[in-house]
Chain A
Amino acid sequence: MKSKKLSEQIIKTFKSSGFVFSEPDVLLDSEYIIQRSGENFKRSMLTFENEDGKLMCLRPDLTVASCIKFLEKKSKSKIYYSGQAYRSTDKKSSDLISDQLGIEILGSKNQLQDDFKVIKTILNSAEKIKSKKIHIKVGDIGLFKKLINSLEMPERWKLRLIRHFWRPKYFEELLERLERNSDIDSVAFDSDKKRFYEMKTMDQDKVIAGRSVAEILKRFNKKIKDPRSFSEGKQIVKIIRTFLKINCKLSKLDEKLLNFSKNNNLKKNIFKEFKSIQNLKKLNQKVIFITNFGRNIEYYTGVVFEIFSGKKEIARGGRYDDLLKSLGAKKNIPAVGAAINLKNI
């Protein structure tokens, strides 16, 4: 079988680059996944109730399944996986079962080195199996965060934009609201303030529907102090939109970002640390940098990339430093990984 041979070839490259095979569990506790990814993802999971009434699911994704296995201390840190993932989509044509083949560095201690290692390994395997011209598209979610944090706007807006960067459609709605400066009407505050003073005299540890009085008052206080009406929304949205249009060769990126900062009266050094991206110059490949990139997967936090052979995307990956913590790790465990898109090979 052709595809089997290809997989074997790819796996050979993974192994020779020091990645060890890991076979994550097929059956996972649904609660665990929903806890991490929210109710919306549940729709795409294939779930069933086991005899104890516990909701189980078939692994929807091998990265998540590998992370769970790693957290159970059942796998090494530098792993590759090869297996099936099970997920339903709204599209009628797409299959429930997809073959996934990829690598992960879980507990990545050296970001620069590990980002490069993952991209290089995937690129090596891609080159072995593909004859068409290969090029790479990269982005860095971290750069977007740096931009947002450098802009003068209310804290809640900053957090909102960062939280929803990975949902382009809703993000656009947010920008439109920011532009119009339509947030929360001020009338509500007067009536609430009365209750605010009443609640101040209450037992601060009292819990109201899961939140303590102290917690509610603290947020209320923060909210009224966070400037409601600020008129720079339009200007800020313009800067964000301009930033999201950056699309250039990696070699031109420094210059581009510098010009961008200059033209928008931003501090010169807001983008100074993006070594992982700069490092990719060493690949000696055509690398295109796009700011508006890697926005479809929630868990990416840093470098994101896709490898193309001709027009077909044959692999993708990125850094996801928060995923393991959201799956229950006690501390932050940085990670980076990538998967081959077998369908397009």
Chain B
Amino acid sequence: MKNLITIGLPSKGRLKDKAIAFFDNKGLKVLQSDKERNYFASIKNKPNIKIIYLHAKEIIQRLGDGTLDIGISGLDLLNESQKNLRDKINIKQKLNFGSANLVVAVPDDWIDVQTVADLEEVAFDIRSKRNTRLRVATKYPNLTNSFLISKGVTQYKLISSLGATETYPFIGSSEIITDITSTGKTLEDNNLRVLKDGLILKSAACLFVVKKKAASLQPFLNSLD
């Protein structure tokens, strides 16, 4: 079909509901497929728009390779992605949901560590005493790297994590973590504490557009303002 617009929306949870609500509020009613678990949807009276439900991370990838034209996903995921992907994607609008912070967290009982400066000292301590590195578990290696290096923490090693990162310090997989948190409850319940100056990124859901197609999508994007 001519002028087909493909939109990627998060496939799960609150982010999915809020993303659908965002379109609904603009008078664009999202129509679910009859089959409950189908990953495709459409918009009422807009036959040229196709909606695909994807993992939030995947949305960034598919915007990057041009499979999607528009997508809703997290700013954290865009900023974490490789530069060649970021270069292809525009942030059209920061949305008022999905807000969360990427932070550096340490075990609560590391009472001597309150700031990144403390962490830097402890990292050197660990290195000089044991000739090993402070291990930082994370799902966000790129953002974590830039943040720590900019704050003078150089003596560490990243441990990549896929989930439940909060457990890592207590099962011997890492000493500290960086993770995304919206209320701080999960960190707190797992005996972790955010460093005073440990905010890496203030993230929120965003409406992303493929840079190359921004001009041709403009009429549709106007209806979202």
Contacts and interface: CB of A to CB of B under 8 A. Distances in A.
Answer yes or no: are A and B bound together in one complex.
Answer: yes
B189 interface: no
Identify which of A196, A199, A216, A217 gathers the most chain B CB atoms within 10 Å of its CB: A216
A188 B145 contact: no
A39 B175 contact: no
Given A39-B158, A184-B115, A223-B112, A208 B152 contact: no
Interface stretch (B12-20, B67-75, B103-111): B103-111
Interface string A230-269: 0000000000000000000000000000000000000000
B86 to A, nearest CB: 15
A25 interface: no
Interface residues of B, number: 37
B107 A209 contact: yes
Interface string B133-166: 1010000000001001110101111100000000
A159 interface: yes
Contacts of B64: none
A296 interface: no
B8 interface: no
B40 interface: no
B170 A209 contact: yes
B117 A39 contact: no
Interface in B53-94: none
A274 interface: no
Given A208-B107, A209-B107, A209-B175, A39 B157 contact: yes
Nearest to A298: B154
Interface residues of A, number: 35
Identify which of B109, B110, B149, B176 gathers the most chain A CB atoms within 10 Å of its CB: B109
B124 A163 contact: yes
B175 to A, nearest CB: 4
Nearest to A223: B112
A156 B155 CA distance: 17
B196 interface: yes
Contacts of B114: 184, 188, 192
Given A38-B133, A170-B152, A328-B131, A156 B145 contact: no
B137 to A, nearest CB: 10
Nearest to B125: A219
B169 interface: yes
Given A35-B133, A160-B117, A184-B118, A209 B110 contact: yes
Interface in A117-148: none
A328 B131 CA distance: 8
A210 B158 CA distance: 15
Contacts of A11: none
Given A34-B157, A38-B156, A209-B169, A220 B111 contact: yes
Contacts of B145: 39-40, 43
A173 B117 CA distance: 12
Closest A-B pairs by Cβ, 8 of them: A209-B169, A220-B112, A219-B112, A209-B107, A210-B175, A192-B111, A38-B154, A208-B109
Interface of B: 106-107, 109-112, 114-115, 117-118, 120-122, 124-126, 131-133, 135, 145, 148-150, 152, 154-158, 169-170, 172, 174-176, 196
25 contacts: A35-B132, A35-B133, A35-B157, A38-B155, A38-B156, A38-B157, A39-B133, A39-B148, A39-B154, A39-B157, A160-B152, A163-B120, A167-B154, A173-B152, A184-B114, A184-B117, A192-B111, A209-B107, A209-B169, A210-B172, A216-B111, A219-B112, A220-B111, A220-B112, A223-B112
Interface of A: 34-35, 38-40, 43, 156, 159-160, 163-164, 167, 170, 173-174, 183-185, 188, 192, 195-196, 199, 208-211, 213, 216-217, 219-220, 223, 326, 328
